[in-house]
A and B are shown apart, each in its own frame.
Chain A
Amino acid sequence: MTKAYAEQIHRCFRCGYCKFPNDFTDFNCPSYSRFRFESYSTGGRLWLIWAWLKKEIDWSEHLAKVIFSCATCRNCVEQCPMNFKNEIVDWIVAARSDMIEKGFALPKVRDFLNNISKHGNPWGMPRSKRDAWAEGIKRYRPGDEYLFYVGCVGSYEERGQRMARNLAELLDGAEVSFGILGVEENCDGNEVYMLGETGLFQELAEKNTQKFKELKVRKVVALSPHAYNSIKNKYPRSGVFEVFHYTQLLSEIIREGKVRLSELKYKVTYHDPCFLGRYNEVYDAPREILKSIPGIEVVEMKRTRENSFCCGGGSGNIVMDLLGGSTESPSRIRVREAYETGAEILAVACPSCMATLDDAVKDEGLEGKITVKDIAELVQESAK
C-alpha cells in the first residue's frame, strides 16, 4: 500500500501548520507536544517515511517508534493548508502497513496485534471474560432494536466497564430495546486498521459484519468512538445497518423525554474524542446532553471541537503507551488545560479518553480537584 503513496508523500512541504490548532494557541499534535523533536511532527514523520522509501535512512526501532507514536488524531488533516490534506493519515497508516509486512513493527505493536488476533482484545485477556462486566445484561436477539457494541476497552478496562454498565442501565431505564454480544463480541479493529494491519482488520470487519448479518442487526450503538468510526466508515456493506455513537442515542432519548433529569450542580468541561469529533463531526450531541442536565455549567477548554487536543490514547496508545511517561504526555497536558477552566468535572464520551485522562489526573496530583466522568455517568447521576 505504501508504494502507491510513494508518488505523493514528497508533497509535504513541512510547513508545520499541522502542529497547531487553527488559532495557533499551542502545539496540537500529540506526539510533537510529547517529544518536541521535529521528527515527531507530522511533517517530520512524512519526510522520514519518504527517506525510508528512498533508502536514505534504514529501518530502526526508533524510526518505528516515530511512525507508530502518531495517535492518528487527525489534527494534521484539520490544519494542513494543502490540497492533499485528507490523505495524510492514510500515508502514515500505509507506512505502518509496509513496516508490518516487512516484520519491522515495534514489539509493543506486534504484541498488541497478536493479542487481538488470538484473543480478540489487545491485552490478551481470555475471550471468556469479555462479558464479565455484564451480569444481568441481555444478549442481543434478532428483533432487538439496537446492538450495543461495547468494544475492547468497555469490556476489559475497569473504567470502560463502568461506562458500559452506566450506559446499559440508562438504556434499560429508558426502555430501549437492545442487547450485547457478550463473549461473542470481537474487537472492532479500529486500532488494527490505524496501526496498518490491513489483513487482520479485514478479517475482523468481515467476521463482525457476518455476525451482525446473522443476527439481523439493523442498528448498532457503540460505546467507543473508535468502534463507531470503524463500523460506520470502514466495514464492508456497512450501509446495511445504521451506526450510532451512544451520545447520539442518549441525546435523542433525552429529547424524547424518556429520561427525567434532576439538577446537578457541576461546572463541566467536555473533551472531544478524535474519532467522534474530527473523524465523524459529532460535536453537538455530547454538548446537548450536558446542557440538558439542569444546573450544569458547561465551559469550553482553549482547544475544542475541530481543534481539540487529543488525549494521546488513539492508535493503540491506550495499551502501548508510546506517548506516556512525561509531564508533557498529551493526557497530562489535556488535564491541565481542563483544570485551567475551573471545571470540577472533565466529561468524556470515549472509554479510551476516560482511562488516559483519569490516569493523568492522578499523575498530575489533581485528584479531588477535577474528576473525569463519562457523559452517561453524568446523565445517570442526574436521572437518579
Chain B
Amino acid sequence: MEVTGMDRIYESLVEIAGEEHVSNREEELYIYSQDPGLMEPHRPDYVVMPKTTEEVQKIVQLANKEKISIVPVGGSLSLSGLVIPCRGGIALDLKRMDRVLEVNEKSRYVVVEGGITQGKLKAYLERHHPSLRHSIPDAPPSATVAGNIVIHGQGRLSQQYGFNSSMVTGLEVVLPTGEICKIGSCSVSPFWFSLEPLPHLAGLFFGWFGATGIITKLGLRLYPKKKLRDIEVFVVEDPNLVPDVIHRVTHTEMAEDIFVGAQPYPLIFKDIIMIGICITGDAEDELEFKRKMIWDALHTYIDSKEGGFMMLTPNIKHELLELPTSSTTRFADVVKGGGFEYCGPIIPVEKFPEAFKKLLEISSKYGITYGHAGRVIGRCHCMMFSFGYPFNRADPDNIERTRKALHESNVASLDIGGVPWKPEVHAQKMIMDKMDKNTLELIKRIKKLLDPNGIMNPGNWEVE
C-alpha cells in the first residue's frame, strides 16, 4: 500500500512521541477543534502530546519540513479561540510536560515545564514551599502557567506586581525553525533568576499566542505567602466614582488584589458596582492596620453615603477568596447554556465609566445578560475590563446575538482607547487596522524572521 503524505506525517509523529500520544481520530480532532468560547471550530489534522523539549523540537522540525502548521495547546481556556487550528495541522498538547523542575526558595523563583497547570503549581507550592505563592489567575485550575504567560494574563498579585508575564524570570523556547533557545539569566548561568539585564528577548514570545515559538520551560517569580488573607468589598452605585476609589486604594499600597464586579443577577447585585479589595498579613494586627488605612482612604465616600463597605457572609467571603475563584467558572451556567465569552480589553482606569456604560448598552441592545469582572493591574496603571456574556451553546440565536455583542465590545474597547486582551483572530485584525504602521511592519518582520515558513499558530498576528 502506498503511504500517503498524511500517513507519513502520522507515522513520523508516532515515531517521535509514541503511538499512545498521537491521534488523527475524529474524536480527538473534534475536541481540539474548539474551545468553550464563541469562535468557529476548525479541526487539526493531528493531535500530539510530547513529553520532552526534544520531542517538541522534532515535531517542529517535522512541521517545517512538511510545511504544516503547529498550534501549541495548553488549557484551551482563552475562550477567544487562540488554540483553534484555523489552518489545520498539528495541535500540540503540552500538558504531559508538567513537572516542577526547581524551586529556589531564597531567590523566590520556580522553574516549570511548559504544560504545567495553574492548579498543579499551586498545589506543589502549598505542599512543599508553603511560604511561597505565584500569581494565580481566575481561570480554572486546568489553565496552564505558560498559556497564561503567552496571553499576558493577570492574577491575584497583578495589582502589586503587574501582568503575570512581567513575573517571568527565564524561558526555554523551541523556535519555529527548531532551535532550542534559552532567554534570560538561564542563557548564561545555571540560575533562572531574571530576564534582566540582558536584551529583552522574552517579548518576542509574550502576547504572541505561540506564533513565534513554543515555551517548553519557564522561570517564574514567587512571592511571600502571608499567613492571613481577608477581603473587603466596597460598593458604589455611580460608575463614575470607580476610578477614584481604585486610585485612593492603590495609593495606600495596602491591597493584595483589587477587582471590580457588576452583574444584574441575583437582584441584590443589580445597579451596584463592587470593588473587591483583598488584604494579606502575617498577623491580625497587620490586617487591621491595612483595613484601617483603606477605610480611611474611602471615608469621604462613606460619609457622603455614595459608597460603603458591604457585609459579607462567611460563604461569600470564602467564595471571593478562593484561589482560583470557581464562581468565575460558574458564570458559564448563568443561562444554563455552558457558554461564556468575554472581551477583556486593557484600559486606562479612568475609562471605566465609559466602558461600563457601553457594556450596559450592548447587553441591552442584544437582549443578553452580562457580567463584568475587572482587575486592577499595577498601582492603578491600567485595568482589565471584561465585557462578559454567558451564552447558551444549544441556542443558535443566542450565540449569534452574543457574537454581535462581542464584536461591538471590541469596537467599543478600541474606541475608548483600550486594547482588547487575548483578542480572537478577528479582533487582532481590528487592532492591527488601528495600529501604527511602523509597529505593524515590525511585527511582520519579526514574525517572518522567526517563522519563515509561517507554521506557528497561523492566523494569529498575521499582518496582511
Contact = CB atoms under 8 A, between A and B. Distances in A.
A38 B36 CA distance: 13
Nearest to B51: A36
A48 B30 contact: yes
A20 B142 contact: yes
Contacts of B332: 13, 15, 82
Nearest to A7: B394
Interface in A4-32: 7-8, 10-17, 19-20, 23-26
A15 B329 CA distance: 7
Contacts of A13: 36, 329, 332-333, 338-340
Interface stretch (B54-62, B122-130, B455-463): B122-130
Interface in A285-338: 302, 326
Top 5 closest A-B pairs, CB basis? A24-B119, A16-B142, A81-B326, A13-B332, A25-B123
Interface string B139-157: 0111100000000000000
Nearest to B47: A37
Size bin of chain A's contact surface: 35 or more
22 contacts: A10-B338, A13-B333, A14-B35, A17-B140, A17-B142, A17-B326, A20-B119, A24-B117, A24-B120, A24-B141, A35-B20, A36-B49, A36-B95, A36-B96, A37-B49, A39-B31, A60-B27, A62-B27, A81-B327, A81-B330, A82-B329, A82-B332
Given A11-B337, A12-B338, A36-B93, A63 B75 contact: no
B266 to A, nearest CB: 14
Nearest to A58: B26
Contacts of B21: 36
B26 A60 contact: yes
Contact of A326 (B20, B120, B327, B394): B20
A72 to B, nearest CB: 19
Interface of A: 7-8, 10-17, 19-20, 23-26, 35-39, 44, 47-48, 51, 56-58, 60, 62-63, 66, 81-84, 302, 326
A37 B120 contact: no
Contact of A39 (B28, B126, B143, B329): B28
A23 B326 CA distance: 13
Contact of A37 (B31, B329, B340): B31
B329 A17 contact: yes
B25 interface: yes
B77 interface: yes
Given A38-B32, A58-B26, A16 B77 contact: yes
Given A17-B141, A81-B326, A10 B393 contact: yes
B141 A20 contact: yes
A57 B141 contact: no
B53 interface: no
A103 to B, nearest CB: 19
Contacts of A48: 27, 30-31
Interface of B: 20-21, 23, 25-28, 30-32, 35-36, 47, 49, 75-77, 93, 95-96, 117-120, 122-124, 126-127, 140-143, 326-327, 329-330, 332-333, 336-340, 392-394
Q: Which of B31, B76, B93, B120 has the most CB of A within 10 A?
A: B31
Contacts of B28: 37-39
A60 B126 CA distance: 43
Contacts of B75: 16
A37 B49 CA distance: 8
Contacts of B118: 24
B93 A38 contact: yes
B402 to A, nearest CB: 14
A81 B140 CA distance: 10
Given A48-B31, A81-B329, 16 more contacts: A17-B140, A17-B326, A17-B329, A20-B142, A24-B119, A25-B120, A25-B124, A35-B20, A36-B93, A37-B28, A37-B31, A38-B28, A38-B31, A48-B30, A57-B27, A82-B333
Contacts of B123: 23-26
A302 B26 CA distance: 36
Contacts of B25: 60, 62
A17 B332 CA distance: 13
B140 A16 contact: yes
Given A20-B142, A37-B23, A82-B333, A44 B95 contact: no
Q: Which of A8, A37, A57 has the most CB of B within 10 A?
A: A37
A178 to B, nearest CB: 44
Contacts of A83: 330, 333
A44 B25 CA distance: 14
Nearest to B329: A15
A11 B142 contact: no
A240 B171 CA distance: 65
A58 B28 CA distance: 13
Nearest to B330: A81
B419 to A, nearest CB: 26
Contacts of B393: 10
B463 to A, nearest CB: 31
Given A24-B122, A36-B93, A57 B329 contact: no
Contacts of B330: 81-83
B287 to A, nearest CB: 25
A38 to B, nearest CB: 5
A14 B77 CA distance: 9
A57 B32 contact: no
Contacts of A16: 75, 77, 140-143
Contacts of A58: 26
A205 B393 CA distance: 38
A83 B95 CA distance: 28
Contacts of A84: 333
Contact of B142 (A19, A35, A37, A60): A19
A66 B25 CA distance: 12
B158 to A, nearest CB: 20
B448 to A, nearest CB: 32
Nearest to A82: B333
Given A10-B337, A15-B140, A38-B76, A62 B26 contact: yes
A371 B190 CA distance: 42
A307 to B, nearest CB: 11
Contacts of A15: 36, 77, 140, 142, 329, 332
B27 A63 contact: yes
Contacts of B392: 10
A275 B392 CA distance: 34
B187 to A, nearest CB: 31
Contact of B27 (A10, A19, A39): A39
A10 B49 contact: no
Q: Which of B26, B27, B30, B329 has the most CB of A within 10 A?
A: B27
Nearest to B20: A326
A139 B287 CA distance: 68
